[in-house]
Homo-oligomer: A and B are copies of this chain.
Amino acid sequence: MTTATRSHRIRLAPDQRRSQLLDLGVRLLATRSLDELSIDVLAEEAGISRGLLYHYFGGKQGFYEAVVQHAADDLFAQTAPPAGGEPLQRLHTSITAYVDYVQANHAGYRSLVKAAGGGNEALRAIYETTFEAMADRVFAQPDDAIIPDTPATRLLVRAWQSMVEDLVLSWCADPTPLTREELLHVITTSLPALVDTLP
């Protein structure tokens, strides 16, 4: 049973093909890692030839970067805070969306996002850029800021994100020690608690 809908020699618009391949990539790379996925397998699964991947992404590495970027954009969009409201409330909503997102895709999240963080230069750049953009949400609205924007607090927020990432992933693997509400409470209150440890 082949999972791909096999239809011979269909010619798509570049955008459609591109997003088809990216979606397939996200799905396949959620379970295998990059070097466990050969281009032959990927091409067959997509119902295209090997060469087409090189036409679109320039190579295996380029394909992987595009897939990671695609997943990162998706994560960023799905955790966007609501337009209006109290700053703390907006942050809480965004965090809730993050927990939901990771819980819904924890295999893919671990495989793609974690691999990006520990991967090559270009991949880490995608990872860093995305999480810095998410950190900006914490520092948004300078007049009634949640926490002051200094190099030190930037450093702490970045580290806090790592903590949250690990916490949520561990919790998804075994949710018994904490309820969902307790998890959200720990995440939310740990940020100001962390900033308070600064001299």
- Chain A interfacial positions (CB closer than 8 Å to B): 33-36, 110-111, 114-120, 150-152, 154-156, 158-167, 170-171, 176-178, 182, 185-186, 189-190, 193-194, 196-199
Which of A158, A163, A186, A199 has the largest count of B CB atoms less than 10 A from its CB? A163
CB of A37, distance to nearest CB on chain B (Å): 12
Please give me the residue from chain B that is nearest to A183 by CB atom: B155
Q: Is the CB of B150 within 8 A of A177?
A: yes
Q: Which residue of B lies closest to A165 (CB)?
A: B162
CB-CB nearest in chain B for A151: B177
- State A16–B74 Cα separation when bound (angstroms): 50
* Copies per complex of this chain: 2
Say whether B166 contacts A182, CB under 8 Å.
Answer: no
**Complex contact A155–B170 (CB within 8 A):** yes
Cα separation A155 to B164 with both chains bound (whole Å): 11
- The answer to whether A152 and B178 touch across the interface, beta carbons within 8 angstroms, is yes
List the B side residues contacting A36 at CB < 8 Å. Answer: 120
Sampled A-B contacts (24; CB under 8 Å) = A33-B120, A35-B35, A36-B120, A110-B118, A111-B118, A116-B118, A118-B119, A150-B177, A151-B176, A151-B177, A152-B178, A154-B177, A155-B171, A155-B178, A163-B163, A163-B166, A163-B194, A182-B198, A182-B199, A185-B197, A189-B197, A190-B197, A193-B193, A193-B194
Q: Which residue of B lies closest to A159 (CB)?
A: B167
Complex CA–CA separation, A164 to B162 (angstroms): 9
